[in-house]
């Protein structure tokens, strides 16, 4: 189990370093190294920036921060393009980016920490911790009728996106229910979102298929329930702080706003 946890944490750290807040490597994490000293080719690394610059020049993306590590050391760390196009502000090594769905591996690591502590089992029914999920319904294929779920949703189903939950992006009956119940209301708490989700039929029996959806949102609430700690506080206390992830969170403090990458409407250029 400890090997699994270390593997998950490693994957998590790499994802955040590449897509999230890339602070100065030598100060907040791995030391810098001459590429050849860790078995990496300087000549090959020098091909990265020109290729990525093509995407910037074509207007396909404003900029990048690229990081390559091997044997516990940083062999490549480079900033390319713009952090803020309108204000002509270039990307810096410490630019803070939105990581969007990379919050999913973060949440999964949080769940696996609880598992490692023996506080949950992956085959536990979700209803053990979230009673609202006790009497779930499942839509038929046409989504015209719903019947009682034959399988109980487990934590493993949530982790593997085989829970039967979806995102509600589309115009099918289930999507209209997501919209009607305002599942993604910006000011909703996790508890309120889960209460709404429990009223919507699943798109299939738990464990029968894979579908990308709000499974991870439910896991976030499960972490709150089991740890008896707000989800954000749990992440900061158990993951971000121990790993020195000083720029990762749900919001950017005013003192760091200048480092926050702008969202730019990109226009395709020839």
User: Residue 101 catalytic?
Assistant: yes
Q: Cα–Cα distance between 224 and 61 in angstroms, integer?
A: 36
Transcribe 253-270 into DSSP letters.
Answer: -GGGGGGBPPP-------
Q: Which SS3 state, helix, strand or coil, does residue 81 take?
A: strand
CA distances from 226 to 119, 120, 125 (A): 7, 8, 13
Catalytic residue among 10, 15, 101, 251: 101
Nearest Cα to Cα of residue 75 among 25, 119, 110, 134: 25
Rounded CA separation 65/55 (Å):
13
- Name the residue among 27, 25, 34, 31 with its Cα closest to residue 66: 25
* Catalytic residue numbers, as ranges: 101
């Amino acid at each position: 189990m400890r090997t699994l946890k270390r593997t998950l944490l490693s994957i998590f750290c790499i994802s955040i370093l590449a897509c999230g807040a890339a602070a100065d490597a030598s100060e907040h994490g791995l030391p810098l190294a001459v590429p050849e000293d860790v078995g990496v080719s300087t000549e090959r690394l020098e091909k990265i920036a020109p290729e990525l610059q093509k995407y910037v020049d074509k207007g396909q993306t404003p900029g990048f921060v690229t990081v390559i590590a091997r044997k516990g050391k940083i062999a490549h760390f480079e900033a390319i393009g713009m952090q803020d196009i309108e204000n002509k502000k270039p990307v810096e090594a410490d630019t803070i980016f939105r990581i969007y769905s990379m919050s999913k591996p973060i949440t999964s690591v949080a769940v696996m920490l609880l598992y490692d502590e023996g506080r949950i089992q992956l085959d536990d029914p979700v209803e053990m911790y979230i009673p609202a999920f006790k009497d779930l319904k499942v839509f038929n294929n046409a989504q015209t009728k719903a019947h009682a779920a034959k399988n109980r949703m487990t934590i493993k189903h949530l982790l593997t996106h085989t829970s039967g939950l979806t995102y509600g992006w589309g115009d099918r009956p289930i999507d209209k229910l997501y919209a009607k119940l305002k599942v993604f209301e910006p000011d909703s708490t996790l508890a309120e979102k889960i209460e709404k989700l429990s009223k919507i039929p699943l798109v299939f029996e738990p464990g029968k298929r894979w579908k990308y959806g709000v499974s991870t949102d439910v896991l976030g609430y499960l972490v709150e329930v089991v740890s008896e700690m707000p989800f954000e506080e749990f992440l900061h206390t158990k993951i971000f702080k121990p790993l020195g992830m000083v720029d990762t969170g749900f919001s950017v403090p005013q003192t760091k706003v200048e480092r926050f990458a702008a969202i730019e409407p990109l226009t395709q250029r020839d």
